[in-house]
Amino acid sequence: MNNMNLEFQTQPVDMNSWRLPENQRWAFQHMAEILPTATISRGDGQVAQLPEGHRDLDSVILPPVFAGEVPMSVGSVMATTETDGWMLLHRGQVLTEQYFGGMGAGTQHLLMSMSKSLVGAVAGALCDSGILDPEGQLTDYLPELTETGYAGATVRELLDMRSGIDFSENYLDPAAGIRKLEEAIGWAPAKAPGPTGMYPYLRTLERKTAHGGVFEYRSCETDMLGWICEAASGSSMDILLSDLVWGKLGAESDASVGIDQFGTAVFDGGINATLRDMARFGSLFLNDGLSLTGERVLSSEWIEQTLAGAPDSRDAFADSPVDNLMPGGMYRNQMWFPYEGSDVVLCLGIHGQMVYINRPAQVVAVKLSTWPVPQDPARLFPTLRAFDAIAAALLVEVETASAPTPSEPEPSK
């Protein structure tokens, strides 16, 4: 492990200031000291061991995108993208694990929208058990939604972010739905009178188009999904996460989740967890839903249909009103697929959070960061390319090592 560039917070950080760029690195590692949270218990199960086989991955060079591009190394990408910690597993073995800015192996870091993938896993486990029907109407679980914009929508449309709800995810617009949501749940000071709490806010959302249309990334979809999971199961999200995912994952540490004024989880981006445990989570998508301890977390069928997508998932993604900069990709069950095919799967969160899963190379990589801006393709795509480059190099190594040795010619008689 590498831990360097220690930084210490000397000024108080609160709801008004935690999102300021100068405070984010400290805040993302100390959310429980700023805002209310609930514990996601790891339980008392077996810890999935992560054997170490450290190698120099920093010197791996990224293939150029265009002629004349200045060569970049994995190390230079990590050094220029506000990395708080990153690690890479190959076939379950740790090849590198590095921390910066005061973060350590036991630090819970804010996952932002990688939380969505964890809530998606809870929904998957509930579908596996028959408690939740992916094709069911939301009003089957919450009749009170009959008078809201979500009337007529299905669980599947939430999982794939294909409802017709009117909600803006423009992080730079102070009047966008995402910013109003943050005010409602107490993550930001209210600028105008409005609903208080997650559920009251979701009830105000209106429909703009028919449900089941194109993909549009909206945090409210995961928030409604979390509410549906709670209604279907009769348990709160912190308990669901513990019982269905975290307690079966072989997690090393408890996680936590931000909660609103009434104790409701911030489903779309409020989970905090360690780097190592997010690598364990990513491994589910290499092992067909089994944890590294061999315990079943998600069914192989859920993993299979996540990877396959719906027949029109990629068309719905391509027709999104916002350019997702991932031609040929798709979004399925709260997971991102950045390329054609399903070899690479991502969990993503703003300000630079990523779990990278490369199935052919048997690689899981995790990067936790504090970019000064929410979204930045100039930081996102070099990170993706860095992990691609490592995975490609490891795949060549494995294929070379497993290639049959040419037989020696028989001696002439």
Residues with a known catalytic role: 113
Neighbouring C-beta atoms of residue 238, cutoff 10 Å: 21
* Partner residues linked to 37 by β-bridges: 258
For the chain, the first-to-last Cα distance in angstroms comes to 59
Nearest to 237 by CA among 209, 216, 252, 259: 259
CB 219, CB 269: distance < 8 Å: yes
CB 260, CB 244: distance < 8 Å: no
CB 84, CB 369: distance < 8 Å: yes
Cα–Cα distance measured from residue 261 to residue 195, given in angstroms and rounded to the nearest whole number: 11
Nearest to 270 by CA among 231, 246, 237, 247: 237
CB 20, CB 189: distance < 8 Å: no
Hunting for tokens 């949270």 — which residue is that? 37
Burial of 73 (0-12, 13-18, 19+ CB in 10 A): middle
The two three-digit tokens of residue 9, written as one number: 């917070």
Cα–Cα distance measured from residue 46 to residue 247, given in angstroms and rounded to the nearest whole number: 9
**What DSSP character marks residue 245?**
I
